[in-house]
Each structure stands twice: as structure tokens, then as C-alpha cells.
A = this chain, B = another copy of it.
Amino acid sequence: MTKNTKVNAAILIIGNEILSGRTQDTNTSTLAIWLNSIGVKVNEVRIISDTEKTIVDTLNLLRKTNDYVFTTGGIGPTHDDITAQSVSKAFGLKYEIHKEAFKILEAYYDPGEFNEGRQKMVMMPENANLILNPTSGAPGFSVENVFCLPGVPSILKSMLGGIKNKILGGDPILSHTISLRTVESEIANSLTKVQDQNKDVEIGSYPFFHAGKLGVSIVLRSENKSKIDSCNSQILEFIKQKKIEIVDR
């Protein structure tokens, strides 16, 4: 049985530190690669500030226009961590102590260490589903199609395994790369023709500099391996005609 539906997602990066340039977001790339591998395509990414109204409005738009939404950031113990209360508001749910999360953190910390600041991290939308955190205890959570993850990249990565079975993806999005010792303008016309004949394959062209030399990587993406293969053959054909060298990259 093949799954035939296209499944898409939006990523919502919440945090002033990304908008100010202080912190370089890397979670988009981590999430996108992981989502592609389970058959979910990322439609769009938005980076927004730690502002309740902005989070509520953006989330209410994205959760209706995408199969899934993944948020990162804003679930820690400080005043600028307002994702859980904003998600509660977006769904019209109570923002309250999550009993299971409370038990997890109570057991995680040494006696007396589960202080008021840390207790903020168990405040969640009512009946939220927990996303377990094998790295630092404090869970993320999901409500309907919205999954809320932390901003710290290593912690986020460690939590993805726990939600894999909650995401119903389509066919995995396959990718094939051909790297060439050429410049984009040399292959632009031929590549346009191949794209026109292969509408179902997303063809990208990306210049690179590597070991002091210029090159171009052509990236083919589709859920359908035979369509990628056919597209690949057409590209190899014009490369041969143009006597362009294929390189490892």
C-alpha cells in the first residue's frame, strides 16, 4: 500500500535572539531534514518575536494552513518564555499545571531543587500531550497538530525520536545531487528544458566554492524515485554533450 497524500508543515521559530542576529538558528535545518525523511515537506518557516499576540496570531494562521506546525523556543523558566501560555490562548485552552510533567520534573531534580522557576516549565495548555526530554528533563508538548519544542538545538534533537510515531507523513521526499565543475550560466538553458519536461521533480541549482574551485550542485527532489532517475538521465545527457566534469561533493 502506498501513501499518496502530500503532507506539509510550517516551522515557527520563536525568539528575539534569532531576530536580533545574536543567535544563529540551526533548528530549521535539523527539523526540515528530519521531516523530509518521514515524508513531511516544510512549506514555510517564520521567525517571530517573544510577543504573545504575534505568537497567537501566527500560530492560529499556520495551524489551519498546514498539516503540522513545529514551534521552537520559549518553553524555559524565564519571563521571556511565553510559548506555552500563547499556545493555550491560541487554542482557547486553560494554561495550567500539567500533572504528569510535574511528576517528571519532581523526580528529575534533587529534593528541594524543583523551585518556583522550574515549576513554570510544567505550566501547559490543559490536556497537552507531553514530548519527553531525555536530555534535560523539562518536556515539550503537543496540542492537536502543533508540536512545541525547545530552542536549544541539542535538546531539540534529542526529543525528535519521541514524536516520530505521532506524525503521519507521506512518502519520504527523496533527493539526488549531481555536482559539476562548471558555472550556472553554462547549464542554465539546458536545465530549464529539463525542468520544463519534469514538472514533478523540484530541480535546484546551487553554486559552490570548494577547495578553491567553483562548481554547481544540481539537486533533484521528489517523492518518486523513478521520476528522479529519469530526470537524472536527461541531465547526464546534456552534461556529456557539454563535456562538463562531474565532481564529488
Residues of A whose CB lies within 8 Å of any CB of B are 13, 16-26, 28-34, 36, 41-50, 54, 76-80, 115-118, 120, 152, 173, 175, 184-189, 191-192, 195, 202-207, 219, 221
Contact = CB atoms under 8 A, between A and B. Distances in A.
Contacts of A29: 18, 21, 23-25
B28 A45 contact: no
A116 B188 CA distance: 9
Nearest to A114: B185
The A contact surface, by secondary structure, is: mixed
B16 A21 contact: no
A195 B25 contact: no
A80 B24 contact: no
B17 A204 contact: yes
Q: A22, A44, A49, A173: which has the most chain B beta carbons within 10 Å?
A: A22
Contacts of A191: 78-79
Given A31-B21, A36-B21, A221 B184 contact: no
